[in-house]
Structure 1
Amino acid sequence: MIDTGRRTFLKGAGAAGAVALGAGSATATESLPLDDELDLTDGIEEGLAVVDPDASVSGLADRIAGLDTDAATRAFEVLPLIYLRAPGPVLREVARLDGVRYVAANRDLEYFNEDIAAETGVNSARAEQGVDGSGVHVAVIDSGVAATHPDLVVENNYQWSGNPLGSPTLWVPAHDLDTDELGHGTHCSGTVAGQGDVDGGMAPGAALTGYSTGAAVSVLKSAAAFDHLLANHSDVVDVVSNSYGAASGEDFDPSIPLNVATKTAFDRGLLSVFAAGNDGPSANTLNDYAKAPWVLGVAATDDDRNVTDFSSRGRPGGAHDRSTALANGTGIYRPGVAAPGNLVNSTMSPGDALQATAPDADPFYAAISGTSMACPAVSGIAALMLDAAGDDAAPLDVIRTIEATADDAGHEPYQTGAGFVDADAAVARAADSDWA
């Protein structure tokens, strides 16, 4: 998530490239497990059905498609999810089917380096431990990535095809093309693994896979990216960086599609890192997907470690203990850690929309702000830790160690979680297999 104030892109730079917002509750409607954003009248609605893990996803997809001549479905490959389009009244029938746990609306979401490597201790960690992220693979789900950028090496580059009920498939290989008209995803990818001499990424040796959702991200696109990733690259990808979401004061709901996706990824050994959101400074504004206890949420500070006004906050006095939340399947209402997110300089193509909001002497770089910029910094630090550990660690090992080594910057846990990330200390513990 990047910020101009709270809900647009670059602090103080106007609203160029703004995308639709996606807040709102996910409570049951009419005692049925239906998202209250769904219109249950005669119009055609677009949503995702979450099904029981032991149910037949394809079988349920066929049953839903058979409920009405205007109903159409697509079963996900790995995740227990079904994309559907159907008349509003039919959704009540879908919610009553055995094996259907929840029917969610396809909400629109929001895209939420001063030298970030020096500020976070990355330079020291790389020098002392001799790591650069080699052997580690990071996936970035975002607006796209410029595989043509001189300081980026992209191993896999996928672009959304825009037709979930037909062909071609949901994700089309884009190879060495520039799939990013906005610049947001290219900027985040550069913070993870950019190879520039001056404003390089945290882990320049890490491999990159990009999923281009385009200028507007939605629940469908991001969940489908996780599904494709788990079906095709779960054996090589270690970290998934997500600088988007929907900030709200709602309670954590493990049954909504993206929380199901990140839990499935977690169970398969993939660490998901999420931006905390750009709805601060008010409390109880955390990204809904950063509340999952198996996810590492990242707040934003300036270079002096002051939490930024735009960085979303959790709940003061709320549930902040990760172990308890994991044991009970409940939410954690604080970020994991904080990292710099104010005027971060990273990769961007000359023609990208966000380039116009941040003019720079170097047309292949731009400085923009947001928790979107803090998130990939921590994703890159996680890659350094896995490199130091020989890629032998569970996601929870990395999360707990990043939190345990964070510096107390004088903020409350609901603001910045465990504190300001300390890459030097975290990578040193990973190198010794001294996991928290």
Structure 2
Amino acid sequence: MGKRTVTMSQDYRRRQFVKMVGVAGAGSALVGTAGAATGISTRTLDEQFDLDGGVQEALVVFDDSENARRLETLDLPETYHVFEHLDVAWTNLTADQLETVAGWDSVRRVKAAEELEWHNDDISRESMAVDTVHEAGYKGEDAHVVIIDSGLNASHPGIGADRVEANYRYVDEPTGPRDPFWVDTNPGDTDTIGHGQHCAGIAAGDGEGGTQGSYEGVAPEATITSYAVVQYIYLPYVVAAWNHLLGRIRTEPEFDPDVVTNSYGVARGARYNPNDPVNVATWKVFQEGALPVFSYGNDGDIGEGGGNRFAKAPHVLGVGAAEKTIDEKNNNNNRSIVGFSSRGRSDVDDVFYDRDALLENLREFFAIQEGTTQTIRTDTFTGSVGPGANTDPVLAAPAFETDTGSSYENFTAAGNADLVDLTLSLDPEGQWVRMRVYEDRNGEWVEVAQMREEVLKQHGTLTVDVEASTDYVVELEPEDTVTADYTIEYTSYAKPDGDLNDARPVTMYRPGVSAHGNAVLSTQDKADVLGPLGEAGDAEPFYGRLSGTSMSCPAAAGVAMLVQQAYRAESGGEELSTADVMRVIEHAAADHNPNYTTINTGAGFVDAEVAVDTAEALAAGDTTIDELETGLDALVEPPAEVTPAEEIDLNASGSRDDDASVFTAGQTNRVEVTLDGFNGNLADAVRVTDQVPDGWTVDENFGDVESFDEDSGVVTFEGTAPASGETFAYFAEAPDEGAGDTGTYTFGPATAVAVDPETFEDDPDRKQGSTEENFGGTDTNTVAGADTEA
């Protein structure tokens, strides 16, 4: 594992993959030799490189893809390829060239091309409240998921080529003589492993082809794009997939994915580096409106700090793995976190768990690095303008007239604000309204900007340069006799000026949520490498079970699609931002288990029903993002431990005895059944019976017999027995119909049945258990039938 210095054959990758992945695929941290020996910060030069080694593959992150041409000044062992949408170049460099390139001002990161690891039914959907959402009509009908994985068999009955928009396979080597490209093979099969196939079914399978039950995925009507990044998942192919995906988003208006699900990565204790190639890619796609979802990793066995490095980004939804068990009476078993699921870190300050704060820092980081502005505040003003709709300017009164039909809004610029955008819309549209902005200059209100809404113009944005911490008044003055309702969308911006180290921390040391990830039943081809590992067997030729955060990741991605679908349906086509989708999911996550912690489940176990209800409420205006539990408020609050009531069982015990072990036909056997005792907390008395073998008869006139049922062979004893115990006797006659009766016969066991057992209705700590119990064991006797020589 680690860097790649030679091209591996597909067969070699296949063998190594099977060795490595297992089912849950516990990951091992990759180690390297670069770092202390060089004066270059490992934030730029990856420590995985061997600076005493030969030619090594590298991914070079530039500040601009144009600067990648500088690589041509080097005597490269092979050519290079630029992922233009990511500002990343893939090339081969010598050890000296690695240090040279890492020292260029235009280079932000030099990353080793390493091999990553896969993080590899009805109850599952119920545990995440998905069935309830399906019943409400949300199945991902207008949603789209991108799956970067081992590929997909689009002809699988549980997927269906009609819902697969593209099934890409990578062609050629970027550092070779020809440019690489992605080929859409739909409706073909690009997956010989089965990992991507399984994940696709969890996120968006429709359940077709199942014989034993309903195996729908979370969003069974969503459409799918798949990128096959070969069996032994290789970092440069992953970056290539993200680059192609980003290019499509930017150039194809109809391509609008909701989520990108990624069940791969590597465990490492290092902090999140915004300039790592995959992290650059996920940030750019996040900004374009598609939510990156990553498995949190399968390294729970190493303790804390084993989270997937890609899932440590605050703009990524990292997903841990939990059981699907629903057990409200003993909540230690209720959706418990699986042992293999990676943990975050508990030895850090709370800010490393605060997604909102970390996202704000990350925006500032990129704004400083790229010299761009960042959004620092948003708000919405609403009201009416026209005769009789006057409002008080508040801050500026009495500087403004109040009888003109104008309406006024007030705001104070943030302490670091540079610009404010004011976007005006009117209902009905096309009204003539003049918008002016006034600034408070030592008590004097000075007009600093104005805009008039023109006829037939539906929207207008007025951009105003503002002074930090200064008061402003917005006036809406109607022309003629205009009467209209207005909405002003207010956005405040700042251009950060500072050191990148001031925009920290940006690493999140917890998963976002957990989801079902153990023994998950989903789409599978038995001929694939992982096919034999599925537990469904031949009874389900198209489905099998696998475990890992690989499986919980697409489940959470499916919930994200349902959230967006619900918001679009309720809002008339509007969409939640990617950050708000995460906020909704974390707000809605459930605190099922007392063993939940921030570092093993983040905000809790996904709850699709609450998440969808929240999305609908947001779209309808019944709540706002500010009213949700987000940031630190979203973190799991483990419930008190619920200990199940103690079951009080009868617990009868005793013994048995008889005359002999061999009998002739018609001979009588005296049988004694002794009840030594039972649990007197359940009952004061029991009725006792014994089991007589077929063919034997019991004389009801002798012993302690109340009745004998010849058909069932049950002898019932007279009266009841107390908890202190009692012995009962009866006489059984061996069969004597002929030689055919010769054989062995078994007496017992005896049975005690509680009389009027206690129900414990007034005792919450105890409940009625078993009220009937066998005791005394059995005796096996031999009969020599009539007409034999016994």
If the length of structure 1 is used for normalisation, what is the TM-score? Answer: 0.92
**AA in 2 matched with 1:418:** A
* Equivalent residue in structure 2 for 1:159, among 140, 153, 169: 169
Match of 2:99 in 1: 92
Match of 2:523 in 1: 347
Match of 1:377 in 2: 555
* Equivalent residue in structure 2 for 1:8, among 6, 21, 37: 21
Change (3 A) 1:365 1:247: same
Using the TM superposition, give the Cα deviation of residue 379 of structure 1 relative to its aligned residue in structure 2, in angstroms. Answer: 0.4
Give per-residue Cα distances to partners, 1:238-271, cap 9 Å, x unaligned: 2000000011222222121111111111111110
Distance in 2, matches of 1:42 and 1:250, equals 23
Counterpart contact for 2:515–2:556, Cα < 8 Å: yes
Give per-residue Cα distances to partners, 1:296-320, cap 9 Å, x unaligned: 0000011121100000000014321
**AA in 2 matched with 1:287:** N
Match of 2:312 in 1: 291
Change (3 A) 1:145 1:125: same
Using the TM superposition, give the Cα deviation of residue 39 of structure 1 relative to its aligned residue in structure 2, in angstroms. Answer: 2.3
Distance in 2, matches of 1:424 and 1:19, equals 31
Give per-residue Cα distances to partners, 1:68-126, cap 9 Å, x unaligned: 14252111121121111122211111112231111010111100146321110011012
Q: Counterparts in 2 of 1:324-343, with a 5 A limit?
A: 324-329=357-362, 330-343=506-519
Give per-residue Cα distances to partners, 1:365-406, cap 9 Å, x unaligned: 110100000000000011111111116111111101100111
* Equivalent residue in structure 1 for 2:282, among 262, 265, 270: 262
Higher CA-based Rg: 2
Counterpart contact for 2:60–2:109, Cα < 8 Å: yes
Runs of 4+ in structure 1 off by over 6 angstroms are: none
Using the TM superposition, give the Cα deviation of residue 19 of structure 1 relative to its aligned residue in structure 2, in angstroms. Answer: 10
2:188 equivalent to 1:172: no
Using the TM superposition, give the Cα deviation of residue 61 of structure 1 relative to its aligned residue in structure 2, in angstroms. Answer: 2.5
Match of 1:195 in 2: 206
Counterpart contact for 2:172–2:178, Cα < 8 Å: no
Counterpart contact for 2:28–2:267, Cα < 8 Å: no
What SS class does the counterpart of residue 117 from structure 1 fall into? helix
Counterpart contact for 2:514–2:601, Cα < 8 Å: yes
Match of 1:3 in 2: none
Match of 1:14 in 2: none
Between 262-271 and 158-167, the greater mean CA deviation after superposition: 158-167
Distance in 1, matches of 2:590 and 2:27, equals 35
Counterpart contact for 2:312–2:318, Cα < 8 Å: yes
Change (3 A) 1:26 1:311: farther
Between 162-171 and 74-83, the greater mean CA deviation after superposition: 162-171
**AA in 2 matched with 1:398:** V
Counterpart contact for 1:125–1:428, Cα < 8 Å: no
Distance in 2, matches of 1:414 and 1:320, equals 9
Match of 2:259 in 1: 239
Change (3 A) 1:393 1:25: farther
Cα RMSD after superposing both structures: 2.2
Counterpart contact for 2:300–2:306, Cα < 8 Å: yes
2:598 equivalent to 1:413: yes
Distance in 1, matches of 2:336 and 2:20, equals 20
2:542 equivalent to 1:364: yes
Distance in 1, matches of 2:610 and 2:34, equals 41
Distance in 2, matches of 1:249 and 1:372, equals 20
Alignment length (residue pairs):
421
Distance in 1, matches of 2:259 and 2:549, equals 17
Match of 2:300 in 1: 280
Change (3 A) 1:423 1:317: farther
Distance in 1, matches of 2:33 and 2:202, equals 33
Counterpart contact for 1:276–1:312, Cα < 8 Å: yes
**AA in 1 matched with 2:39:** S
What SS class does the counterpart of residue 338 from structure 1 fall into? strand
Match of 2:6 in 1: none
Between 425-434 and 101-110, the greater mean CA deviation after superposition: 425-434
What SS class does the counterpart of residue 241 from structure 1 fall into? strand
* Equivalent residue in structure 2 for 1:35, among 46, 49, 66: 46
What SS class does the counterpart of residue 252 from structure 1 fall into? coil
Match of 2:235 in 1: 219
Between 280-289 and 109-118, the greater mean CA deviation after superposition: 109-118
Match of 1:313 in 2: 343
**AA in 1 matched with 2:95:** G
* Equivalent residue in structure 1 for 2:244, among 221, 225, 228: 228
**AA in 2 matched with 1:121:** A
Distance in 2, matches of 1:352 and 1:122, equals 29
Structure 1 residues without counterparts, runs of 5 or longer: 1-5, 12-17
Which has more strand, going by share of residues? Answer: 2
* Equivalent residue in structure 2 for 1:67, among 55, 66, 74: 74
Counterpart contact for 2:26–2:299, Cα < 8 Å: no
Greater relative contact order (CA < 8 Å, ≥ 6 in sequence):
1
Match of 1:181 in 2: 192
Give per-residue Cα distances to partners, 1:204-246, cap 9 Å, x unaligned: 1111000001211122111111110010145411200000001
Give per-residue Cα distances to partners, 1:172-193, cap 9 Å, x unaligned: 2212111101100000001111
Counterpart contact for 1:115–1:199, Cα < 8 Å: no
What percentage of aligned pairs have identical amino acids? 38
Match of 2:355 in 1: 322
**AA in 1 matched with 2:566:** A
Change (3 A) 1:222 1:65: same
What SS class does the counterpart of residue 160 from structure 1 fall into? strand
Distance in 2, matches of 1:27 and 1:227, equals 28
Structure 2 residues without counterparts, runs of 5 or longer: 1-18, 209-213, 326-334, 363-505, 569-573, 629-790
Distance in 2, matches of 1:299 and 1:178, equals 29
Match of 2:138 in 1: 131
Counterpart contact for 1:20–1:216, Cα < 8 Å: no
Counterpart contact for 2:323–2:338, Cα < 8 Å: yes
**AA in 2 matched with 1:328:** N
Which has more helix, going by share of residues? Answer: 1
2:222 equivalent to 1:206: yes
**AA in 2 matched with 1:224:** A
What SS class does the counterpart of residue 604 from structure 2 fall into? coil
2:576 equivalent to 1:393: yes
Using the TM superposition, give the Cα deviation of residue 280 of structure 1 relative to its aligned residue in structure 2, in angstroms. Answer: 0.1
If the length of structure 2 is used for normalisation, what is the TM-score? Answer: 0.51
What SS class does the counterpart of residue 396 from structure 1 fall into? helix
Distance in 2, matches of 1:374 and 1:320, equals 20
Change (3 A) 1:49 1:426: same
Change (3 A) 1:172 1:417: same
Between 316-325 and 160-169, the greater mean CA deviation after superposition: 160-169
Change (3 A) 1:192 1:267: same
